[in-house]
Amino acid sequence: DTEVTQTPKHLVMGMTNKKSLKCEQHMGHRAMYWYKQKAKKPPELMFVYSYEKLSINESVPSRFSPECPNSSLLNLHLHALQPEDSALYLCASSQEGQGAISGYTFGSGTRLTVV
Amino acid sequence: DAKTTQPNSMESNEEEPVHLPCNHSTISGTDYIHWYRQLPSQGPEYVIHGLTSNVNNRMASLAIAEDRKSSTLILHRATLRDAAVYYCILRDTTGTASKLTFGTGTRLQVTL
């Protein structure tokens, strides 16, 4: 299995809702990432998990809460989002460890609309 | 993070080679040069990476300048399916967690 699977593919949520985005990989990758991409812009890094521990938080608002239950799963919990949070949310994974030089594998993303 | 500079857009005719340039004058000795592409409505896709020597794979070739301050991604025969945004990224692999920071990329248009 050489894929990163993201669910759901599309999500519409109200500003008072709580929802979760899910990401799964079975390549044995020990680093997983969340990116946010607005239309016609490059992906922006949000969080990095290394060996199931949060290692980088790019000053993301607390209404986004990541979770890594095990080495294959990554969740992004959403609460009290704003319309400007509407975007494509991308999950990625890679081998990790000092000297690791492999490429990242990206999922196809969850397109989130906040109404 | 060391930055890269790419042209905003390029055009190519189908079946012709395409050379996508990237400048990275502040590259450090531990930075690998990665290329990704993003087709419409999809996540980014890994294309190729290298450190000092030129690299070839089934998708493309990567030519790295001797001083490593620039590189060129070469698509040998462009097809309509190669129309995408191509990102040149420096990946610092020191430390236990590294991050991939995207620049603005080059939008490649391929025409018949």
Pick A107's closest partner by Cβ from B34, B43, B91: B43
Q: Which of B112, B64, B107, B60 is nearest to B86 (CA)?
A: B107
Share of chain A above pLDDT 70, in %: 97
Mean predicted confidence (pLDDT) in A24-31 = 94
pLDDT at A15 exceeding the cut of 80: yes
pLDDT per position as a tens digit, B18-39 = 999 999 999 988 889 999 999 9
Give how far B77 is from chain A: nearest CA, Å.
23
What's residue A69's pLDDT?
Answer: 96
Pick A109's closest partner by Cβ from B36, B43, B93: B43
B→A interface, C-beta within 8 Å: 32, 34, 36, 42-46, 49, 51, 85, 87, 91, 93-105
Pick B99's closest partner by Cβ from A45, A99, A107: A45
Report the 10 Å Cβ neighbour count for A15: 13
Q: Give the contacts of A83 (CB within 8 A, at least 6 positions apart).
A: A15, A114, A115
Digit-by-digit pLDDT tens for chain B (112 residues) are: 668 999 999 999 999 999 999 999 999 888 899 999 999 989 999 999 999 999 999 999 999 999 999 999 999 999 999 999 999 999 876 665 677 889 899 999 999 9
- Residue B1 CA to residue B48 CA, distance in Å, equals 20
- Residue B24 CA to residue B37 CA, distance in Å, equals 18
Give how far A52 is from chain B: nearest CA, Å.
11
The C-alpha R_g of chain B, in whole angstroms, comes to 14
